[in-house]
């Protein structure tokens, strides 16, 4: 590491300490070295010349720089923060500084990047983009979009829906989520009607082959084979452009489902179960979304009950 005035020797001593005392792997030591080099460069550019001069606000600004300017994910920022905390704890423990400036810093989970969310009006425009003028498979595309929004499905989950996993009598989907974990999700009438139209009017024409190529899946391609995850992305992007929505992607429908449900008054635990999240902390991110653009949401739990 190049000489960085008052930081040079403290950084060298810390890296030597964690290498010898903690027995860190080479990759971890390399990450610590890189994290500290970035921190020191940031601090020196702001006139901070030694660890004793570091103020908590300096480190908070560095963390915000990693988040806003470098666009790092919360997990990466958490690693940077962990490195800084260890470094300054080491300096405090060896009496090189009087107080640890990382003590007031919060964890990234409190301000992690919020998901993109469509307004109910945008969501309706996207759904309506799948109509008679959008192509021969519009009924399938409409059913796919309605299911993703009604049940908060991932692209892989909607593509993997089994025909026998849909119960029209009680309007419930059997969804296979991450880790092969199954969950049951109810859907509203708009999704139910769209699926019914697809099953009666289009799907029979896609199962004209008798070689079992459909694999029992609900949504099929033009060749009668199961709809693939990449095709789900392509369909959503195509219809979003048709609806005048920029940079839309399948996960945005899942984000919109969760946000609209919570804004409408749904319990966080219920949304957690519907989304298939193991950790409620993952679901809580939706409670931080700015609600100012969602005033048109109706009083019930979902804009399309």
In this structure, the answer to whether residues 126 and 239 fall within a common structural domain is: yes
In this structure, the answer to whether residues 69 and 124 fall within a common structural domain is: no
Active site residue 249: no
Instruction: Choose the catalytic residue: 112, 203, 254, 301.
Output: 254
Answer with the one of 68, 88, 110 that is the final residue of a domain: 110
Residue 249 is classified by DSSP as -
Instruction: Choose the catalytic residue: 139, 154, 203, 304.
Output: 154
Answer with the one of 61, 83, 110 that is the final residue of a domain: 110
Q: Work out the angle at residue 255's Cα, subtended by the Cα atoms of residues 236 and 140, and round it to the nearest 5 degrees.
A: 30
Residue ranges of the chain whose pLDDT lies below 70: 1-5, 22-24, 106-115, 287-305
96 phi, psi to nearest 5 deg:
-90, -20
From CA 74, how far away is CA 158, in angstroms rounded?
27
Q: CB–CB of 256/225 below 8 Å?
A: no
Active site residue 67: no
166 phi, psi to nearest 5 deg:
-110, 120
Is 134 contained in some domain? yes
Task: Indicate the pTM of the whole model.
Answer: 0.61
From CA 92, how far away is CA 42, in angstroms rounded?
21
pLDDT of the residue at 135: 95
* Two structure tokens written together for 67: 């988040």
Burial environment of residue 173 by CB neighbours within 10 A (0 to 12, 13 to 18, 19 or more): buried
Active site residue 251: yes
**CATH code for position 212:** 1.10.443.10
Is 206 contained in some domain? yes
In this structure, the answer to whether residues 133 and 35 fall within a common structural domain is: no
Active site residue 154: yes
In this structure, the answer to whether residues 135 and 92 fall within a common structural domain is: no
Q: CB–CB of 21/60 below 8 Å?
A: no
pLDDT of the residue at 280: 81
Instruction: Choose the catalytic residue: 286, 301, 302, 304.
Output: 286
Instruction: Choose the catalytic residue: 57, 178, 241, 288.
Output: 178
Answer with the one of 92, 110, 128 that is the final residue of a domain: 110
Structural domain boundaries, residue 91: 5-110
176 phi, psi to nearest 5 deg:
-100, 110
Is 48 contained in some domain? yes
pLDDT of the residue at 3: 45
Look up tokens 């298939």; give the residue. 276
């Amino acid at each position: 590491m190049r000489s960085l005035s008052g930081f040079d020797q403290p950084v060298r001593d810390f890296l030597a300490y964690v290498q010898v005392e903690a027995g860190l792997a080479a990759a971890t030591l390399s990450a610590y070295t890189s994290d500290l080099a970035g921190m020191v460069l940031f601090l020196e550019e702001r006139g901070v010349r030694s660890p004793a001069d570091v103020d908590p606000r300096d480190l908070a600004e560095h963390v915000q720089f990693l988040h806003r300017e470098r666009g790092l994910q919360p997990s990466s920022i958490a690693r940077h923060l962990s490195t800084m905390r260890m470094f300054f704890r080491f300096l405090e423990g060896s009496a090189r500084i009087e107080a640890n400036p990382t003590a007031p810093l919060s964890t990234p989970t409190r301000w992690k990047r919020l998901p993109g969310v469509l307004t109910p009006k945008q969501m309706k425009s996207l759904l309506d983009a799948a109509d008679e003028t959008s192509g021969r498979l519009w009924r399938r595309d409409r059913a796919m979009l309605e299911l993703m929004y009604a049940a908060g499905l991932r692209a892989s989950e909607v593509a993997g829906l089994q025909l026998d996993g849909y119960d029209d009598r009680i309007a419930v989907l059997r969804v296979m989520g991450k880790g092969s974990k199954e969950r049951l999700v109810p859907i509203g009438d708009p999704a139910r009607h769209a699926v019914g139209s697809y099953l009666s009017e289009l799907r029979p024409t896609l199962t004209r082959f008798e070689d079992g190529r459909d694999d029992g899946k609900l949504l099929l391609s033009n060749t009668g084979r199961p709809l693939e995850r990449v095709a789900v992305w392509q369909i959503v992007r195509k219809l979003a452009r048709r609806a005048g929505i920029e940079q839309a992607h399948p996960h945005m429908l899942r984000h919109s489902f969760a946000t609209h449900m919570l804004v409408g008054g749904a319990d966080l635990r219920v949304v957690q179960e519907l989304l298939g999240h193991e950790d409620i902390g993952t679901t809580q991110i939706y409670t931080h979304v700015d609600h100012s653009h969602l005033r048109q949401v109706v009083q019930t739990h979902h804009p399309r009950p």
